Structure 1
Amino acid sequence: MTLAETLISTDTIEPSLRNEYWREVTRPFCDTTPLSTAERATLEGTMRIRHLGGLTLGATTFNAQHYKRDLATIARSGLDHFLVHVVVAGSIHGDFDKRDVVAGPGEICFIDLARPYQCQVDAGERLVMTIPRASIGKILGARDIHGLVLDARKPMTSLLKDYLCGFHAVSGQLSASEDVAALEALTALLSAGLMNAEPIQQGPESVLGQALRARVLEYIECHLAQRELGPDLLMKRFRVSRAHLYRVFSELGGIASVIKSKRLDAAYARLVDPRLARHPVSQVAAHFGFPDMARFRRAFIARFGVAPDEAKARYRHAASPIDSNNALASHFSAYSPVPRAK
C-alpha cells in the first residue's frame, strides 16, 4: 500500500511570510517563536508526514525555536494525544508542567498534549509520532508520562528508536496487513519501554481507583452542560462515597476543581471557534454551568489570562479548529499544496 506523504516546508514560502506560516503549521501543538532575539529572526522548518491507523508519523527538521503550549492552546486545539519525539539531532530543554526536562540525541521524549509545557530546541531533527490517548491508556492506565525521557543508554530505548526510524522509513510501502503487524509490534515495544522506565508520578494506586477515575472523567466530558453535574451526582451515579471520590481525584485538585476546569476549557473552545461567533459570551457561559457572568469572567481570566470577550475577538477570523477525529490530517494537508505519493 502506498500512503500519501504530506510535505511542508518554509523553503517554499516567501521569507517575509515564513514566521507566520510555520506558526500556523505548528499552532495545534504550541505557539512557536524564533529562539534568536534578533529583529529579523526567521522560523525555518520542514515536515514529511503520513497518517496511519490513527497515528500521525512525521520527520521534521528546524532551526532553533521556542515552543509554548498553555491552557488556552490546549482548550482550543481539542487534541487528546501524546507526542513522541525521537531526538535525532539537537536537544530539547524545557519546563513540562513544572518539571525540568532535558532530552538529547538518541533519547525519546513523551509529551501529553493535555498538559502545558514550554521548551527551547536547538537546530536539529526529530522523528515525531502522535498517538491517541486511548492507545497509550491501554498500555499505562493512569500513569503520568508528561515529560518522560527514555535514556539513550538503555538497550530498550535504542531498540525502540531503531524500530521507529525503520517504521518511518518504510511506512509508505507496507501492505495493509503489514501495517497492522507493524503497529502491533510498535505497541509492544512502547509498552516494554514505558513500563520499564523510571516512573515520574503514578495515578491512583489501586487498579480500581484508576478505573473509577477514567470512568468518571469520561462521564464528566459527556455531561459538561448538565446543570446538576457535581460531586453529589457523581456519588450517586457511580455508587461511591464522597471520601472515596475525593481521594481518587486528590492529585488533580479535587473533583469540583476538575469539573470547573473542564467546563472552562469547553467554554474557551466554543468562544474561539469562528463557526460559533454568533453565540454571545453569556449564552456560552450559561450553557457550561456559569449563570453568574462576573464569576465566569473571573474564573476565565484566572485560567487563561484573558477575558472571555477578548478571547472571542482574538480568534474571530481565525481558521476553524482542527477535526481531532481526523487525527490532524486535514490541518497539515492545508499547508501542503502538492501531497506526494511514495
Structure 2
Amino acid sequence: MLTIKKYAAIDIGSNAVRLLISNIIEQKGKPVQFKKNSLVRVPIRLGTDVFLRDKISKENTQRILDTMLAFRLLMKSHKVVKYKACATSAMRESVNGQQVADLVKAQSGISIDIIGGEEEAAIIAATDLHTYIDNSKTYLYVDVGGGSTEFTVIHQGTSVTSKSFKIGTVRLLNDIVKKEAWQELEQWIHTNAELYDKIEVIGSGGNINKIFKISGKALGKPLTYFYLTSYYHILQSYSYEERITELDLNQDRADVIIPAMRIYLSAMKWSGAKNIYVPKIGLADGIIKSVYFNTVSSNTQ
C-alpha cells in the first residue's frame, strides 16, 4: 500500500526566506522517500538590517509578514499536513527578532523557532547525506548562509564534530567579518583536517548550487579547486551590473556569490581538499527529515 503526505519547511535566513514542500512517500516494506514538490524563495535580506543596525526594519518586518501569509496559503493549497519554520543567524541576533516572530504568529498563525548555530548544523546533518557520500572517505561539510557558515566533519558516514562561525555572505558583503573570525575558522579546519589522511569538501547553499548548475557537471560529480578558483576570478572581473546582464545572475545572487566562493575556497585550501561535491541539500531538507523522524517539534497545518 502506498501513502503520500506533504510536509513543509520554512527557512528564514539572512539572505532569503524559503518554503520547501516535499512529498513523503511511504510504501510497505520499502524505505520512505522524500521528493521535493515545490520550492519558493523570497530575497528578503534580513542580514543587512541586523548586522548593520541590530534590528529588523519596519519595511522588512512587513515583508516577512506578507511572505508568511503567502506561505500559509500555499501550504493550505498543497494540503500540507505538517510543517516547521526555523529562523537562523539574522533573526537570532536581532534585538526585535522574537517580537517579529510573535507578530508573525499572531497574524499568520505560523510559529517560528529561532534556532542556534549548533542546532542549525545538527538539522542540516539530518539530511540524506549518506546517499551522496562514500562511507570510506572523510568530508568537511560546509553550509554557507548569509549570516553564518556551519561546518561538520563526517568520517566513515558519521558526523564527528560541528561548529558554526559568524562568517556569512551578507556579513562579508558589508565588511563586518573580523580578521579574528577567519583566523579561528582556519585553525579549526587545520586542527580537524590533520586528523585524516585525505579530506573532501561537500558544499551546500544557494550560491554553490548555482555555480554547480553553471558548470554543467552531472549530479554526483565534483567541482575541482582549480575550476572554482578560475570561476571566482571570472566573477571578480565583472561588475555587479555585468553579472546580472551578461552572466544572467539574479540581482540578489550577483553580489553574494563572490563572498560565498571565498568561504568555499578557504575551506578547501585549509583542509587540503582538491574537490567539492554539491548534493543540493540544505537546512530546509534537514527540517523535512527532522520533522518526519520526530527529532524536532513540528506544527500541523
Q: TM-score higher than 0.5 here? A: no
Q: Give the TM-score taking structure 1 as reference length.
A: 0.22
Structure exhibiting the larger radius of gyration computed from Cα positions: 1
TM-score by length of 2: 0.24
